[in-house]
Chains A and B, each alone.
Chain A
Amino acid sequence: GNSVTQMEGPVTLSEEAFLTINCTYTATGYPSLFWYVQYPGEGLQLLLKATKADDKGSNKGFEATYRKETTSFHLEKGSVQVSDSAVYFCALRSLGNTGKLIFGQGTTLQVKP
């Protein structure tokens, strides 16, 4: 079945450091891929998405590229800020008619000043 695996957290970085959060997936076909962010006490916000192989999603300085050959969708940011501290979820949208989202377990990012 479909699944998403993320790197274990927490990830602790200093402000302005480079961020990578690894995400790999297992799926039938070529599903759309997403990164969601969850701030403390809040719901999920869509951060970026990619709908086909080699697409690059980007938003607020974050980027991720849909790599079909490595079944990966790693999240990167060149210079993190304290305000980026949150939990990040990688997800795929299943190809069935529900389009249900399948999430990874989440990676906590803590950015220190």
Chain B
Amino acid sequence: GAVVSQHPSRVICKSGTSVKIECRSLDFQATTMFWYRQFPKQSLMLMATSNEGSKATYEQGVEKDKFLINHASLTLSTLTVTSAHPEDSSFYICSARDPTSAPRGAKNIQYFGAGTRLSVL
């Protein structure tokens, strides 16, 4: 199956600093990637849809100036948490669609990175 690499796996930073998280599709090209946030013992919440070569589409309630998304190539999307604060501490997960490697009969399956645990002190 398709492989999505996410880096770093864990980051600890001071309040007020910015943190960049990378999401790469290793063996396929992804025109669309997704960024999710997951708090402990809760489900994944879609933050934004990242489109290669165009602006990201943010979900309601997600500040686009706070969570900057760049999808400059077909294999890389980045999420930058700007001026991070303790309430931004969470598990951030990216995913990408690979229509060419989906199991037979499947459609638009998302393949997920391993996630990034962000802790803001």
Q: Do the two shown chains form a genuine complex with each other?
A: no
